[in-house]
Amino acid sequence: MSQIKLNRHQRAGQTSRKRHRGLTLVEVLVAITLMLLITVATVSLYNVNASSKRTVDGSQQLDDVARFAFHLIGEAARNAGYANVAMLSRGIENGGGLAAPGGTVSNLFNLCETTGNTIPCPVLGFDNSTVTSSDTNFGSRNSNAPNASDSLAIRFYGSGADGRTGKPLADGTMRTCNGTAVAASSPGMPTTVGELGLSIFYVGTDDTNEPNLYCYSDPGTATRETNAIVRGVETMQVMYAVDLCLPLADPACVRDGVPDRWVSAVDVGDANWRFVKALRVGLVVRGAPGSAQVSSTAALFPLGADFSNGNTEAGLSFTPPADGRLRRTYVTTFLLRNSA
């Protein structure tokens, strides 16, 4: 009987030892491998999600940047050619009339008219143009702008005068692209070029070599401002819808007020700037480093691929570097509502 009990105790001890036996080396290696695979999969999934989030955030940021840029350009385009008719008529009645183009800030607009006693053109552009703050030259064609960007200049009259004295007092409805209000001309005085508001849009780079959309402006008081107004704009291209005098060889032809074709600034012609009816503006906007999931060097077309077909103008096709930045093209059209 005691022998049977002993055997039972021996069997119980052996069972207990089997229950507390550790893992084998193979089992440990398999477990570690599975843990590593799970960790790698988790990290990869996190990186993908983080990259996707950066791209989504970057895409939304680019949309906001383009929306703001077009808001500023569109506001200026709606102001282009605005004239305070009441002030102009008072000036003419008192013998003032319209002064011939001239003065320190008018050189840019003299190019569109060869005759005197005319109102400066409301719109003027240059292809591949940088902009300087010189009193006699704001920009010129083919002056090596970043990515062959164009410049767009807009002139307009101000609004607002003191009700008691009649002297200019800006009411805030007419502003330059830098946000400075432009007052109306004084009644009874000649409307000179220097009393007009001026806004010029162009692309430049800052001290960190970041491309920006810049605004050079003059509210008609020679208080000129230059500011980067939209960050990340890599190139700007502009086309102009012109109401041409057809046939071109007929000097007596009558324009019908309807644009006939889209042309670049160099093809508008000095005599046709006053008959530009619409602007087509294209932008390439870039995001922060690492905002793109995959770097791409595929060509981008700021104004659309159709505008680059058969057109050799620099800048209509833009090849970006493979720098990991998200890029997107944006294009819109602005109608010029004020009569020339």
The per-residue DSSP string of 49-104 comes to HHHHHHHHHHHHHHHHHHHHHHHHHHHHHHHTT---HHHHHHHHHTT--BPPS-ST
222: nearest Cα among 240, 195, 202 = 195
Report the pLDDT value the prediction gives residue 106, as an integer from 0 to 100.
Answer: 40
For CA atoms 220, 106, 332, 68, give the dihedral sign.
Answer: negative
| pLDDT reported for residue 237 | 95
Residue 170's nearest CA partner among 155, 185, 191 is 185
Amino acid present at 195: E
Could you read off the pLDDT of 160-211 as tens digits, one per residue? 776 666 677 778 888 899 988 888 765 544 345 556 788 999 999 988 889 9
pLDDT at residue 12, rounded to an integer: 55
d(CA 104, CA 207): 29
Residue ranges, the chain, pLDDT below 50: 87-107, 114-117, 135-136, 188-191, 340
Model pLDDT for residues 134-147, shown as the tens digit of each residue: 544 555 666 788 99
Tokens of 131: 């902009």
Q: What is the pLDDT of residues 236-261, one digit of tens each?
A: 999 999 988 766 556 667 778 888 88
- Both tokens of 79, joined, read 């102001």
What's the angle, vertex CA 214, arms to CA 120 and CA 176, rounded to 5?
A: 45
φ, ψ for residue 75, nearest 5 deg: -65, -40
For the entire predicted model, the pTM comes to 0.76
Do the Cβ atoms of 236 and 201 come closer than 8 Å? yes
pLDDT computed for residue 107 by the predictor: 41
Q: Which residues pair with 98 in a beta bridge?
A: 191
H or E segment to which residue 156 belongs: strand 151-156
Q: By the 8 A CB rule, do 286 and 306 touch?
A: no
Task: Provide the pLDDT for residue 35.
Answer: 87
Q: How far is CA 64 from CA 59, 69, 296, 326, 330, in A?
A: 9, 9, 22, 14, 11
Backbone dihedral region of 148: left (phi > 0), alpha (psi from -120 to 50 degrees) or beta?
left
pLDDT in the model for residue 190: 39
